[in-house]
Amino acid sequence: MIKKNSLKICSDVDLSSYNTLGVSAVASVFVEITSRDDLLVLADQDFFKHHQPFILGGGSNVLFLDDPSKAIIKMSVKGKDIVDEDAQYVKAQIGAGENWHEFVSWVVENNFGGVENLALIPGTVGAAPIQNIGAYGVELEQVFDSLELFDMQTGTFKTFYKKDCDFGYRDSIFKNELRGQVIVTNVTLRLSKLNHIIHDSYGSLQSYLQEKSIQNPGIKDVYQAVIDIRRSKLPDPKDIGNAGSFFKNPVVSKEIFEDLQSRFEDMPFYEVSENEIKIPAGWLIEKTGWRGKQIGHVGTYQNQALVIVNHGNASGSDIFHFSKQVQKSVKETFGIELVPEVNIVE
């Protein structure tokens, strides 16, 4: 039986409180989904024949350029369940609309391991696999088991396992082949119960732990360290509008890297593979003089140049034009094309 209550298709909804950049935009069609059955109700009403909706989670990785032309589906399916366990691991299934950091805190309180390095990442659980969130040496794919999604074309639910998701650096099949076709309804992660693997080799994490003389950190130490480091570097959207890293860190060939390194000796880098090197976009932006700079109401954050911030009432297009200027400077100085990490919604 399909549950028909509580599903409301709204019009003219102000989206400013639904995106962490705090940009004003109005959705002409807006539906909030609180149970997976709501999707069947919408399919029953031929909603997906008339609309190719944009799926909104916590709005922490989106820039509305203007009033969106697409219908907006706000994903608010909740729930946290242990669906399987053995001596070593538990499998937790989490509703796509759960807040990511609240979920991480629940995991750490229960003494399960695997996501402590991903504390304080804004957004929802359902958005996490879309861009394979990552921080401080851990990416979601390392703990990912499977997810359930709704296929808007066929009106059916499907399960995708890790091998089906094509995870890459801030990338997955859901950003590519399946873009705009599916809605993630829940995510299942495999978390350790004992013998936790601690990832503490990321530079700033190591310095933090050394400074505090923590020698054999546990998951709670790493969790607290990540929270403190993030708070010191990244602005809280409650205080100042932002969407975290605005651009991805560019990956270049070894040849290009060596040429750049001969000209910029202090350039930080991470080896991705034998022939590919990742360069921190924040450093490139800082080097071109953009760190802490402001034009009108838009700027980069003083403590982390990769974060573009809304100092007041910047519009989506103000932020977009600012980002274009940053891209232009980096291109001119380094020959590198920065690619936005945030979803730009027209």
Question: Which residues does the annotation mark as catalytic?
Answer: 170, 245, 341
Cα separation values, 116 from 130, 151, 208, 268, Å: 19, 31, 15, 25
Total number of residues binding ligand EPU (CB under 6 A)? 19
Here's the x/- map for ligand EPU, 235-264, by CB under 6 A: it reads as ---------xx--xx---------------
Token output for 38: 């709501």
The site string for ligand EPU over 185-214 (x = CB under 6 A, - otherwise) reads: -------------------x----------
Q: Is 341 in the site for ligand EPU (CB under 6 A)?
A: yes
- Residue in 268, 289, 312, 335 binding ligand EPU, rule: CB under 6 A: 268
CA distance 92 to 84: 7
> What minimum distance in Å lies between the beta carbon of 177 and ligand EPU?
22
Nearer CB in complex with ligand EPU: 93/343: 343
Show the beta-strand stretches assigned E in 96-199. 134-135, 138-139, 144-151, 156-161, 182-192
Instruction: Check binding of 135 to ligand EPU (CB under 6 A).
Output: yes
C-alpha span between 202 and 213 (Å, rounded):
16
Rounded Cα gap, residues 70 and 62, in angstroms: 14
Q: Please say which residue, 141 or 341, places its beta carbon nearer to ligand EPU.
A: 341
With respect to ligand EPU, which residue has the nearer C-beta, 114 or 282? 282
Check: CB of residue 16 under 8 Å from CB of residue 59: no
Nearest approach in angstroms of CB 77 to ligand EPU is 23
Instruction: Give the one residue of 145, 286, 333, 336 binding ligand EPU; rule: CB under 6 A.
Output: 286
Are the CB atoms for 252 and 267 separated by under 8 Å?
no
Q: HSE, CB side, 13 Å, CA atoms: give it for residue 211.
A: 9
Query: Both tokens of residue 165?
Result: 């998701």
Edge to edge, the sheet with strand 304-310 lists 241-245, 304-310, 298-301, 294-295
Q: Which stretch binds ligand EPU (CB under 6 A): 7-15, 73-81, 279-287, 315-323?
A: 279-287
Of 171-179, 208-216, 252-260, 304-312: span binding ligand EPU (CB under 6 A): 304-312
Q: Which residues would be at the binding site for ligand EPU (CB under 6 A)? A: 135-136, 204, 233-234, 244-245, 248-249, 268, 280, 282-283, 286, 291, 304-306, 341
